Amino acid sequence: MPSETTDGVGVRVWDWPVRVVHWAMAVLLVVLVTTATIGGNAMEWHIRAGETMLALVLFRIVWGFTGSRYARFASFVRGPGAVSRYARSLSRPAHELHVGHNPLGGWMVIALLAALLIQAGTGLFSNDDVLAEGPLVRFISKDLSDTISGFHVKNAWVVVALASIHTAAVVYYLVALKENLIAPMLHGSKTLPATKAEGDETPMRHAKAVALFATCAIAVWFVVTRH
Ligand code: HEM
Ligand code: HEM
């Protein structure tokens, strides 16, 4: 149920799978870049963390079609008109408010998920010429694996750049635009003016989320344990 306060109405926006997956991805990205920078034996952990990231990204994509209202791609992937209208509103004192991702942020979510999917996917076929190799290297030639590894290393910087812009944008919203997007990503609710307050009232299907995540994890495990 929406709860009313003097600032507006509190509504449910982010379901727990969106929030748990989000913070797990943020932590894993730090682990991945750190282990890749250390190299050597740390690459064992890089590979484990990368495979976990792959399962999370796959789950988030499936959840984008099957999850709760604001988790769905259909609710936040908008055309160029909506994006430019939103971008123009940012220069006005009161910018457009959105319950879920705003039209600009929606495309950042797509970019992040696509870059992470490509990164984790190429990791499976990468090798470091010393100890570490992804679990699917044995199925392709050394030359192809070297080419994919080169791409994996370059694309890592695309991922890091997108995540940095994303984090900087969220901080900009907090400091300059006085819109706190971080708290809802922690507890799941937003406080909005009554006219905008259309929360997600559909019951959360916990078992469905757990079953879908288990399916993604098992699919990744199945692929990475092929010998
Ligand atoms: C460093 C790695 C990070 C990655 C890969 C990442 C990725 C993402 C993704 C994929 C989403 C979409 C959530 C969804 O719909 O499932 C998202 C949203 C969000 N992230 Fe991150 N994130 C990162 C770090 C951070 C950090 C450090 C913060 C806080 C300072 C943050 C705050 C948020 C917020 C507030 C949203 C919701 C934005 C909105 O309301 O539209 N993220 N992030
Ligand atoms: C989003 C997930 C991932 C990120 C952000 C990431 C990041 C990186 C980075 C920054 C490097 C460069 C290390 C260097 O400077 O040489 C690297 C190398 C490597 N990664 Fe990943 N990685 C990810 C997923 C994976 C996965 C899933 C695997 C395998 C299962 C993997 C296997 C490797 C291997 C074998 C290398 C060595 C490549 C080389 O040195 O040419 N990575 N990764």
Full pLDDT tens readout for the chain, 227 residues: 445 555 688 899 999 999 999 999 999 999 999 999 999 999 999 999 999 999 999 999 999 999 999 999 999 999 999 999 999 999 998 899 999 999 999 999 999 999 999 999 999 999 999 889 999 999 999 999 999 999 999 999 999 999 999 999 999 999 999 999 999 999 999 988 887 777 777 777 899 999 999 999 999 999 999 86
**Residue 190 has what DSSP assignment?**
E
CA 117 distance to own-chain centroid: 10
Give pLDDT, residue 6.
55
Listed by start position, the domains of the chain span 15-224
Question: pTM of the full predicted structure?
Answer: 0.94
- In the reported structure, the alpha carbon of residue 38 is separated from the centroid of ligand 2 by a whole-number distance in angstroms of 11
Pocket of ligand 1 contains residue 69 by CB under 6 Å: no
Distance separating alpha carbons of residues 102 and 64, to the nearest angstrom = 16
Return the ligand number nearest the Cα of 157.
2
Give pLDDT, residue 1.
45
Pocket of ligand 1 contains residue 132 by CB under 6 Å: no
CA-to-CA dists, residue 91 to 88, 104, 155, 219, angstroms:
6, 14, 32, 45
- Kindly state the greatest CA–CA separation across the chain: 64
Give pLDDT, residue 2.
47
In ligand 1, which atom is closest to the CA atom of 63? Answer: 16
Pocket of ligand 1 contains residue 174 by CB under 6 Å: no
CA 91 distance to own-chain centroid: 27
- In the reported structure, the alpha carbon of residue 216 is separated from the centroid of ligand 2 by a whole-number distance in angstroms of 21
Which residues are paired to 44 by β-bridges? Answer: none
**Residue 138 has what DSSP assignment?**
G
Q: Atom 6, ligand 1: which residue's CA is nearest?
A: 26
- In the reported structure, the alpha carbon of residue 60 is separated from the centroid of ligand 1 by a whole-number distance in angstroms of 12
Tell which CATH architecture fits domain 15-224: Up-down Bundle (1.20)
Distance separating alpha carbons of residues 213 and 55, to the nearest angstrom = 8
Pocket of ligand 1 contains residue 160 by CB under 6 Å: no
Q: What radius of gyration do the chain's Cα atoms show? A: 20
Residues at CB less than 6 angstroms from ligand 2: 29, 32-33, 36, 46-47, 50-51, 53-54, 116, 119-120, 123-124, 126-128, 132-135, 149, 152-153, 156, 159
Question: 3-state DSSP call for residue 79?
Answer: coil
Give pLDDT, residue 8.
80
CA proximity to 124, closest of 62, 63, 53, 60: 53
